[in-house]
């Protein structure tokens, strides 16, 4: 692929941003392809500011927009390694299908992710617990108010280097007022609007000193679904419990990976409905000894306590539990190259 000299120059001149608060340090060059109603263009490497999207686009007006979140690592390997890119591509296309958008060929998706990670490889932090966050997105860019699927689409990949991230213990607000997604809705995919719909709850949670909110099922407001950006696990009577998958919340790739690692360590995982009120009683009785959440950004993140909207707090533990510690160490080790990649999850990017 030929990349314009001024783009290569822009990459070379990019300094690692000082403020690397998660998601704020977007780098200026992106990978992009466009769909003209029939087929996909070749990938192009360009400045983000060269990619036009209007407020009059279908994506902005009607929310026809999806994304993925994934990471490239360079902690021990010189060549950046991407975590499960084809699985992210598959989930991306399930999201595209749900939102009535054309699938992005898996090869194009993975090529774009690897290309931008390779171009920015010198800016991928090498400290333990840091990485390059990679954000593929697909959106309808027809300039139109017709309430129909867009004919034209953009596929873009932005990247942001992340700070070393060592998750502390967090409190979580049990969200008993709003629900995030409906049965048969879009909760099971990464549709942009799901995230906007969760902001109000997250702000309520922050006011109460919580990191985020815990979403319950949309019918009875009783069984646990997920956190706003992560899946949920609890250790109850020595077994790992996680909500069984439903179409109202996201099947996380970290969730899936953690379950594989748990089995490898001889820890049984049960996928069952978890009634939040029963769980609170199990915490009080000492049967639930740890809880944690899983997701690309924080990998495995321990939950210290649950809070109710009235401020009542139910503490699980002040210490990170042994199961969360073991699974986090193993998964981060695979991602950073200090543990053997026994399941073939890491993919090197090509370097010329």
Residues of this chain that bind ligand PMP (CB under 6 A)? 69, 226, 229-231, 250, 252-255, 294-296
Closer Cβ to ligand PMP, 66 or 288, answer by number: 66
State the minimum distance, in angstroms, from the CB of residue 283 to ligand PMP.
Answer: 22
Residue 81 contacts by C-beta under 8 Å, 6 or more apart in sequence? 72, 73, 74, 335, 337, 346, 347, 348, 349
Closer Cβ to ligand PMP, 138 or 253, answer by number: 253
Closer Cβ to ligand PMP, 45 or 89, answer by number: 89
Query: For residues 66 and 271, what is the distance between their CA atoms, to the nearest angstrom?
Result: 27
232 with 272: CB under 8 angstroms? no
State the minimum distance, in angstroms, from the CB of residue 249 to ligand PMP.
Answer: 6
State the minimum distance, in angstroms, from the CB of residue 253 to ligand PMP.
Answer: 4
Query: For residues 59 and 149, what is the distance between their CA atoms, to the nearest angstrom?
Result: 9
State the minimum distance, in angstroms, from the CB of residue 250 to ligand PMP.
Answer: 4
Closer Cβ to ligand PMP, 69 or 149, answer by number: 69
Query: For residues 303 and 306, what is the distance between their CA atoms, to the nearest angstrom?
Result: 8
339 with 330: CB under 8 angstroms? yes
Closer Cβ to ligand PMP, 144 or 221, answer by number: 221
State the minimum distance, in angstroms, from the CB of residue 44 to ligand PMP.
Answer: 26
State the minimum distance, in angstroms, from the CB of residue 241 to ligand PMP.
Answer: 16
155 with 137: CB under 8 angstroms? yes
Closer Cβ to ligand PMP, 71 or 114, answer by number: 71
228 with 213: CB under 8 angstroms? yes
CA dihedral (216, 248, 246, 210) in degrees, to 10, reads -40
Give the nearest residue (CB) to ligand PMP. Answer: 252
State the minimum distance, in angstroms, from the CB of residue 63 to ligand PMP.
Answer: 16
Closer Cβ to ligand PMP, 250 or 334, answer by number: 250
315 with 169: CB under 8 angstroms? no
Look up residue 116 and give its DSSP letter.
Answer: H
Angle at 297 between CA 296 and CA 301, to 5 degrees: 95
């Amino acid at each position: 692929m030929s990349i314009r000299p001024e783009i290569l120059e822009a990459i070379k001149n990019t300094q690692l941003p000082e403020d690397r608060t998660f998601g704020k340090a977007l780098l200026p060059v992106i990978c992009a392809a466009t769909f003209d109603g029939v087929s996909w263009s070749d990938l192009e490497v360009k400045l983000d500011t060269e990619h036009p999207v209007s407020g009059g686009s279908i994506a902005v007006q009607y929310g026809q927009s999806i994304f993925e979140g994934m990471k490239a690592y360079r902690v021990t390997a010189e060549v950046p390694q991407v975590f499960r890119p084809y699985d992210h591509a598959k989930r991306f296309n399930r999201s595209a299908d749900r939102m009535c958008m054309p699938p992005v060929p898996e090869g194009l998706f993975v090529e774009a992710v690897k290309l931008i990670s390779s171009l920015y490889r010198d800016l991928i932090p090498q400290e333990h617990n840091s990485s390059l966050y990679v954000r593929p997105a697909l959106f309808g860019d027809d300039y139109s108010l017709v309430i129909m699927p867009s004919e034209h689409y953009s596929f873009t990949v932005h990247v942001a280097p992340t700070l070393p991230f060592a998750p502390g213990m967090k409190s979580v607000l049990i969200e008993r007022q709003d629900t995030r997604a409906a049965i048969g809705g879009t909760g099971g995919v990464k549709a942009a609007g799901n995230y906007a719909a969760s902001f109000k709850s997250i702000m309520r949670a922050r006011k109460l000193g919580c990191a985020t909110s815990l979403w319950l099922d949309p019918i009875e407001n009783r069984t646990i679904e997920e956190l706003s950006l992560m899946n949920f696990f609890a250790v109850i009577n020595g077994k790992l419990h996680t909500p069984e998958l439903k179409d109202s919340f996201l099947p996380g790739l970290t969730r899936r990976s953690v379950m594989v690692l748990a089995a490898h360590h001889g820890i049984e995982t049960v996928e069952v409905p978890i009634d939040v009120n029963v769980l609170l009683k199990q915490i009080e009785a000492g049967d639930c000894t740890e809880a944690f959440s899983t997701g690309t950004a924080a990998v495995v993140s321990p939950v210290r306590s649950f809070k109710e909207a009235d401020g009542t707090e139910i503490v699980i533990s002040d210490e990170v539990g042994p199961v969360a510690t073991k699974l986090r160490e193993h998964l981060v080790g695979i991602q950073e190259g200090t543990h053997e990649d026994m399941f073939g999850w890491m993919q090197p990017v090509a370097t010329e």
